[in-house]
Amino acid sequence: MRELNCKLLILGAGPGGYVCAIRAGQLGIDTVVVDRAPPGGTCLNVGCIPSKALIHAAEEFHRITALSEQPEMGISAGGARLDLAQTRRWSEGIVSRLTGGVAALLRKAKVRLVTGEARLRDGKTAVVDTPEGPVMIRAEVLVIATGSEPVELSALPFGGPVISSTGALALETLPESLAVVGGGYIGLELGTAFAKLGSRVTVVEAADCILPQYDADLTRPVTARLAELDVRVRTGVRAGGLSPEGALRIAGDDGAEEIEAEKILVTIGRRPRSEAAGIAELQLDRQGPFIRIDERCRTSMRGVYAIGDVTGEPMLAHRAMAQGEMVAELIAGERRVWDHRAIPAVCFTDPEIVTVGLSPEQAQADGTEAITGLFPFAANGRAMTAGREDGFIRVTARADTQEILGIQAVGAGVSELAAGFALALESGSLIGDLTGTIHAHPTRGEALHEACLRALGRALHI
């Protein structure tokens, strides 16, 4: 058996793992990263990137078809056709460019990439089954970055017409009808995309509302848009199995019914791969299915770190990246602490949702006296000229010091404002810092300026 020795061994080449590896290489740490898939993990290969490619293609297709029905701008169009197989090939080309780019960055940082299935023998040793045969890797430090995978319903196992998000992104023909089980961000992002492409979509959610992790003010514009797209939403109902004819069985307080659907997309959440690669045998402290970590991403076992989805919510690629960068610097001897106050979360529905920090309700629950300002895009010139006035930006700050505690937004394209929101919290900005910042006109970002002014009772444009 071939053997490798290194300072740092990383299990998983997803966003957390590859960023940790690149930063470690930059710091001169002898690093090996192991993954069975091309570098980039779920996010790059079968998650964030291909899903956003599909969402963009769906929006472009829908925009053309909508112009033929609503030519208010004086533009008419018609004859749009969809070739979903070509859309998939275009998306795969983007993924290939990005995975190739990550691999090149790993090489530049002198990181050794081993492709194969890893199995830990202990916190210092792993055996990897590679196409060339088994390889034993011995390391001084281990980073677990094995990510997560879709949760399967026992009554609706994946296979045949029942698909996961990965399966949905691999479709080459458009289903005439699609039932989405789970009204969270993954289900609504993909369900909305397929509705824009022309599928009849029904969303089934067990909770009393879609996107239950967000407050009603943020989800209301999304609900209205789903209705405009003829997406049927059923809340407060649970999905069962399939009928003999292949229909989806659901049941709620109003009784049971069957939903006819060519494909059934199950998106009820993701679970950490904390049982993979022999991780469960390491005797690590756990919090449910997740590996418990401290403020430096250290586990209960000396010399073993864990980052990303395997450590719990929020399961976000940029959270994993930030953790990976920090851990590499800690291993190099630098002083770092993980500060999770300013992690932006983005829901790429239509309209998009961005949250960072505390909502007004959360601030109140913490016992903080707060002030809030909300500015609607209906009063924003750029939103009007773009034909999308739905949504708003909302700011929450301490009443005494006016330190910003949270910023939320819902609207078309607001994902691009997320970094600015996070910067305001990370830098400890006061409302006066934002009201004193000149915002370019006409832009959607002006709504942040106006929301801050409104929190102070000084709104200019409403």
Residues assigned a catalytic role: 441
- The β-bridge partners of 371 are 397
| Strand, coil or helix: 215 | coil
Q: Are strands 304-306 and 133-144 parallel, antiparallel or unpaired?
A: parallel
For residue 105, the Cα-to-chain-centroid distance in whole angstroms is 23
**What are the helix and strand counts (H, E) for the chain?**
13, 24
Neighbours of 11 (CB within 10 A): 28
Give me 455's structure tokens: 């929190």
| CA–CA separation, 221 and 406 (whole Å) | 20
Rounded (10°) angle between helices 48-67 and 185-197: 40
Give me 339's structure tokens: 């500060």
Q: Which amino acid is at 6?
A: C
User: Do residues 180 and 263 lie in contact, with contact meaning Cβ atoms separated by under 8 Å?
Assistant: no
User: Do residues 53 and 43 lie in contact, with contact meaning Cβ atoms separated by under 8 Å?
Assistant: no
Instruction: Provide DSSP, 352-399.
Output: EEEEEE--HHHHHHTT--EEEEEEEGGG-HHHHHTT----EEEEEEET
User: Do residues 67 and 76 lie in contact, with contact meaning Cβ atoms separated by under 8 Å?
Assistant: yes
Q: Are strands 370-376 and 352-357 parallel, antiparallel or unpaired?
A: unpaired
The set of long-range contacts for 374-377, using a CB threshold of 8 Å and a minimum separation of 24, is 374/217, 374/451, 374/454, 375/447, 375/448, 375/450, 375/451, 375/454, 375/459, 375/461, 375/462, 376/447, 376/462, 377/411, 377/444, 377/447
- Of 273, 29, 48, give the one whose Cα is nearest residue 145: 273
